[in-house]
Amino acid sequence: MSEVKEFKTESKRLLDLMINSIYTNQEIFLRELLSNASDAIDKYHYLSLTDEKLAKRNNYEIHIEIDKDSRSITISDNGIGMTYDEINDNLGTIAKSGTLAFMKKLEEQEASDQKNMIETIGQFGVGFYSSFIVSKKVVVETKSPYSEKGYRFTSSGEDTYEIEEIDRQSDGTSITLYLKENVKDEENKIETDFDQYLDEYNIQYLVKKYSDYIRYPITMYLTKEEPKLDEAGKVIENEYDEVRTLTTLNSMIPLWKKNKNDVTEEALNDFYMQKFYDFEKPMLHIMFNVEGNINYNTLLFIPNLPPRNLHSIDYEKGLQLYSKGVFIMDKCKELIPDYLRFVKGVVDSNDLSLNISREMLQQNKVLQLMQKNIEKKILNHLANLQKDDFDKYVEFFKNYGINLKFGAYENYGAKKEMLQDLLIYETLNSSKMLSFKEYTEQMKEGQKDIYYASAKSKEEILAMPQMDVVKKHGYDVLILKDDVDEFLLKVLNKYNDHEFKSINQASLDDLTNEEEKEKIENLQKDHQDLLDALKEALKDQVKDVVFSKRLIDSPVCLVSGDGVSFEMEKVIDAMPTNDKIKAEKILEINPNHELCKALDKVYKESPEDIKDYASLLYNQALLMEGFKPTNSVEFSNLMCKLMIKSIEK
Ligand code: ADP
Ligand code: MG
């Protein structure tokens, strides 16, 4: 019985690409096939724990065989194999969605990047196709314990493939690649050498390079020349015997179980890029063992750039979980707190039972404990980085600082103590970003509080009227640029004994000395009528109109009450919620400014006009805070009206 079937459309396109292009990294096909073989053994093992139909095995093996005569290389495993339907689903359609996603992504890339992209093929569930990079024909023979029969799949990567029944008793899969002819140039020099995959030592090298940590033995016969012996057992000079010995090519020790000192930076980078499908080396790696009630090895990475969907709900956090070197699950989310969702890596514990079910995992106290430890280790590592390599820490913080901020903000600041010293901010006076600790160490004499302002730049802060008195003292100001910042500082409330204070909140009295305060309060008493009139004119918009203690050169400003700040109002406004909370607004007028005298004059000479001026002042103050005028058209008309009036005079 033999059937000819058509590949699904998307698969065809991908196959075309594999067949017709030559990639510098063609050797990745071996890694992909070995990883499939290893996955297949994992599956067998996992199922055999609960399904009696599957014989228990302890002879798992992946075997490579090279046949120079037929120019083929065969990779066999005694894993789960495939049923008839599975062949069609897995090899004929090849992870439908994966293929499509891969093609889309590939087409978006520049030609030069396409090559890199091919390396990530495994991520899209289309690794099997990479065999066609080097093969003109691929033959898969397989049998599943869930099928009576074995099957052979044959394809030369064109539109169709063939399936036929075969006589095969043992569960598992053998994949034979018939290599393409070498590509030669006009002078008959080899340009692309496919024969290299027939070289035992090259294959050994590639296995070591890409698949060393695979937990099952990858075996191959290696040919060695040994000196020939005569009958008496003495060496005959210059004569050799060819000896073929079955050799295990991989060390089988997962990288994360190796001694830290035996692992090179390069091996770690390679491991990360392969395992987590990244084009780039990681920014950081963190490797540690925990010994105690629960023992585990951990190897963590922080990607050089955060994944684009890191902050969307479809991003899945989690670490790969292994038990005694056996893979359990890909993204165990219990192992990592939410705010550290960008961390990738592997955790391997000897103290988790192998057939632990996923439901059980979810409530596992052990995992919670592990999470706590892992979190602590990561934060320690970051603290050391902050201390030892600040430039790199800044780079880290630019990418992931926002996550730490959310971590500190979450649950009303429950993790404040753990996280606050890891936060750094640009400040008005310092050329380098500062932690709260550094800020407080550099405070001026007499300064009690930590000042902050939300702004896009130093220039913007310097132009704020509320800065008058802060500038006079020469105090430094944290520049807040993220939406979460003001919420976060509200939650933190204090750093040691130093309160966080916004430069535009009403309660900023301590910057003015008693004498000046008294002076202003007296002035305010004298002009209470004017202030009351202004307040009356703005009664729905402001909570109060007062003489300012913070303004020195500027005429007016708007400050907020103690609750929600202006910045918070803007953030809340942008959120898809109906609970719009407004900041309390207080209009402050500089009693020493020309404007104040002018207002006083208007109030005395034509009190009916004070309403217009109040509205104008208020809207200007709103504009300075980055709000829109309450009614833009009215505001503009009012300006015109007053302009005409002043010109007519
Ligand atoms: P992925 O490994 O990401 O799923 P691949 O293209 O590498 O994608 O493989 C497609 C599917 O083919 C696998 O998911 C698996 O079901 C099946 N497969 C591939 N190789 C083997 C194998 N050696 N044994 C059993 N099944 C295999
Ligand atoms: Mg694969």
Interhelix angle for 200-211 vs 265-275, to 10°? 80
Residue type, 73: I
Q: How far is the CA of 128 from the centre of ligand 1 (A)?
A: 6
| pLDDT value for 32 | 86
The CA distance from 530 to 448, in Å, is 35
pLDDT band at 95 (very low <50, low <70, confident <90, very high): very low
**Structure token pair of residue 261:** 């000192």
| pLDDT value for 113 | 67
- What topology does CATH give the domain 401-503? Rossmann fold (3.40.50)
Do the strands 585-589 and 556-560 form a parallel or antiparallel pair, or are they unpaired? antiparallel
Residues 246-260 have a mean pLDDT of 90
Atom of ligand 1 nearest to the CA of 36: 20
**Structure token pair of residue 395:** 């780079």
Residues 582-588 have a mean pLDDT of 93
- Indicate the helix (H) or strand (E) that contains 601: helix 594-605
Residue 222 has pLDDT above 90, yes or no: yes
Residue type, 645: K
In the block, residue with structure tokens 């599943």: 144
| pLDDT value for 313 | 86
* Cβ atoms < 10 Å from Cβ of 461: 23
pTM over 0.75: no
90 ligand 1 Cβ < 6 A: yes
Residues 332-351 have a mean pLDDT of 92
| pLDDT value for 116 | 63
Chain-wide mean pLDDT for the chain?
Answer: 88
* Cβ atoms < 10 Å from Cβ of 27: 19
| pLDDT value for 583 | 92
Buried b (16+ CB within 10 A) or exposed e, 496-535: eebebbbbbbbebeebbeeeeeebbeeebeebeebbebbb
Residue 604 has pLDDT above 80, yes or no: yes
Q: How far is the CA of 37 from the centre of ligand 1 (A)?
A: 8
Atom of ligand 1 nearest to the CA of 75: 23
The CA distance from 22 to 162, in Å, is 25
37 ligand 1 Cβ < 6 A: yes
145 ligand 1 Cβ < 6 A: no
Write the CATH number of the domain with boundaries 255-388. 3.30.230.80
User: Which three-class secondary structure state does DSSP give residue 57?
Assistant: coil
Q: For 422-581, where are the E strands, in sequence order?
A: 424-427, 434-435, 450-454, 477-480, 494-495, 498-502, 544-547, 556-560
The CA distance from 337 to 54, in Å, is 38
Q: Residue whose CA is closest, atom 15 of ligand 1?
A: 90
Least confident interval from 97-106, 188-197, 361-370, 453-462: 97-106
Q: How far is the CA of 13 from the centre of ligand 2 (A)?
A: 18
Do the strands 183-184 and 190-192 form a parallel or antiparallel pair, or are they unpaired? antiparallel
| pLDDT value for 478 | 97
Q: Where are the domains of the chain?
A: 2-235, 255-388, 401-503, 511-648
CA atoms within 13 A on the CB side of 442: 18
| pLDDT value for 103 | 66
At 483-502, the pLDDT tens digits run 999 999 999 999 999 999 99
**Structure token pair of residue 319:** 């670490």
The CA distance from 547 to 586, in Å, is 10
Residues 213-234 have a mean pLDDT of 90
| pLDDT value for 500 | 95
User: Which three-class secondary structure state does DSSP give residue 89?
Assistant: helix
Tell me if 121 sits within 8 A of 102, measured CB to CB: yes
Residues 526-546 have a mean pLDDT of 93
**Structure token pair of residue 390:** 């600040």
In the block, residue with structure tokens 């990047």: 113
Cα distances (angstroms) measured from residue 502 to each of 163, 172, 385, 410, 452: 72, 67, 30, 21, 5
Residue 115 has pLDDT above 70, yes or no: no
Residues 100-119 have a mean pLDDT of 66
Cα distances (angstroms) measured from residue 614 to each of 9, 457, 529, 597, 617: 70, 30, 14, 14, 5
For residue 96, the ligand closest to its alpha carbon is 1
pLDDT band at 362 (very low <50, low <70, confident <90, very high): low
Atom of ligand 1 nearest to the CA of 81: 25
The CA distance from 553 to 167, in Å, is 94
Which residues are within 5 Å of ligand 2 (an ion), measured at CB? Answer: 36, 127
Which residues make beta-bridge pairs with 452?
A: 478, 502
Residues 205-215 have a mean pLDDT of 85
Cα distances (angstroms) measured from residue 128 to each of 300, 582, 628: 28, 58, 58
The CA distance from 421 to 411, in Å, is 18
Residue 368 has pLDDT above 60, yes or no: yes
Cα distances (angstroms) measured from residue 418 to each of 151, 365, 398, 405, 421: 58, 22, 19, 11, 7
Q: Output the CA angle 606-609-615, nearest 5 degrees.
A: 150
545 ligand 1 Cβ < 6 A: no
User: What's the CATH number of domain 2-235, 3.30.460.40, 3.40.50.150, 3.30.565.10, 3.30.70.3040?
Assistant: 3.30.565.10
Which residues make beta-bridge pairs with 329?
A: 321
Q: How far is the CA of 425 from the centre of ligand 2 (A)?
A: 44
Tell me if 588 sits within 8 A of 558, measured CB to CB: yes
CATH superfamily of the 511-648 domain: Heat shock protein 90, C-terminal domain (1.20.120.790)
